[in-house]
Amino acid sequence: MAIPAPILMMENVTVDFDGFKALTNVNLEISPGALRILIGPNGAGKSTLCDTIIGRVRPTSGRITFKDQVITALPEQEIVRRGICRKFQTPGVLPTLTVIENLLIAGRKDRSWWKTFTHKAPKDELSIAEDLLEKIGLADRRDFMAADLAHGEKQWLEIGMVVATDADLLLLDEPTAGMGPTDTQRTAQLILSLLGKHAIVVIDHDMSFVEALNGYVTVLHQGQILKEGTVAEIRADPEVTAVYLGRSDDDDTAEA
């Protein structure tokens, strides 16, 4: 079977913050519908890499291509319009709206804000939001205020909001931050259920989560790609172990 052309390509991307190189010559290819797990110690450049893809940070040199078009210099909202959506490290739900309203707003086709509040959501948008509500496991929280959700539920709602945009590439920055083991495993299952329709880049520190996802891993270290491979290959790599995977095999959470 032919390998599909990558949906996203980063070629020799360097980001220099006033003399400090947060990324150096990064090359990365993501296939349509595929998962990529991005790990690395604190300050490795993981969030900067996502910021650069979405146009919030500009590369000093290099090129980023999305769906065969160069997006390196496009404004962030244009990149979003073309089908990339990013979830930040901290949950960004709208606290005073209900769960279903949050999903509807994230997914609305007509982006005029007044229509959001004065018109009922079109039937098709409502049915998409209801399906998504099931998918993220929050059907019984449908009419709860987002502010009243538990921490894990807020994270799932925000993943749902990213999915609601129907972007082809989702960037999830630490979706399990602050979660216990049960919620972390549920998050892994949720992400796996989204693949195929969406390519997903997930940044995370938690090795139990990375193992549950069991996808292709890119290890960043000091702004450079140190290694790429399966979870097992990464686990077995002495260089990765030295810089990242902690001091003992039974230490599940990697430390900086």
Q: What residues line the site for ligand ATP (CB under 6 A)?
A: 17, 20, 22, 40, 42-48
Whether 86 contacts 161, CB under 8 Å: no
**CB 188 → Mg ion: shortest distance, Å?**
19
The interface region with Mg ion, picked from 43-51, 102-110, 144-152, 156-164 by CB under 5 A, is 43-51
Angle at 97 (CA atoms; ends 54, 175), nearest 5 degrees: 40
Partner in contact with 83, chosen from Mg ion, ligand ATP, none, beta carbon below 5 to 8 Å by kind: none
Beta carbon of residue 141, minimum distance to ligand ATP (angstroms, whole number): 28
The partner in contact with residue 91, picked from ligand ATP, Mg ion, none with C-beta cut-offs of 5 to 8 angstroms by kind, is none
User: Of 41 and 107, which has the nearer Cβ to ligand ATP?
Assistant: 41
Q: Is 48 in the site for Mg ion (CB under 5 A)?
A: no
- The entry of ligand ATP, Mg ion, none near residue 154 (CB within 5 to 8 angstroms by kind) is none
Answer with the entry of ligand ATP, Mg ion, none that 113 interacts with (C-beta below 5 to 8 A by kind): none
State the maximum Cα–Cα separation within the chain, in Å, rounded to a whole number: 59
- Under rule CB under 5 A, residue 47 binds Mg ion: yes
Q: How far is the CB of 41 from ligand ATP (least distance, A)?
A: 7
Across the strands, what pairs with 202?
37, 172
Nearest to 207 by CA among 183, 238, 184, 182: 184
Q: Which does 133 bind (CB under 5 to 8 A by kind): ligand ATP, Mg ion, none?
A: none
Dihedral of the alpha carbons of 137, 83, 228, 253, in degrees to the nearest 10: -30
Give the one entry of ligand ATP, Mg ion, none that residue 221 binds, where binding means its C-beta sits below a cut-off of 5 to 8 angstroms depending on kind.
none
d(CA 136, CA 183): 12
Report the alpha-carbon distance of residue 215 to residue 192 in Å, rounded.
Answer: 9
β-pair partners for 16: 21
Total residues binding Mg ion (CB under 5 A): 2
Neighbours of 189 (CB within 10 A): 11
Burial class (CB in 10 A: 0-12, 13-18, 19+), 131: exposed
Q: Which is nearer to ligand ATP, 8 or 171 (CB)?
A: 171
The smaller minimum CB distance to ligand ATP, of residues 165 and 218, is found at: 218
Could you give the CA distance from residue 138 to residue 123 in angstroms, rounded to a whole number?
Answer: 20
Q: Which is nearer to ligand ATP, 47 or 155 (CB)?
A: 47
Q: Which residues bind Mg ion (CB under 5 A)?
A: 46-47
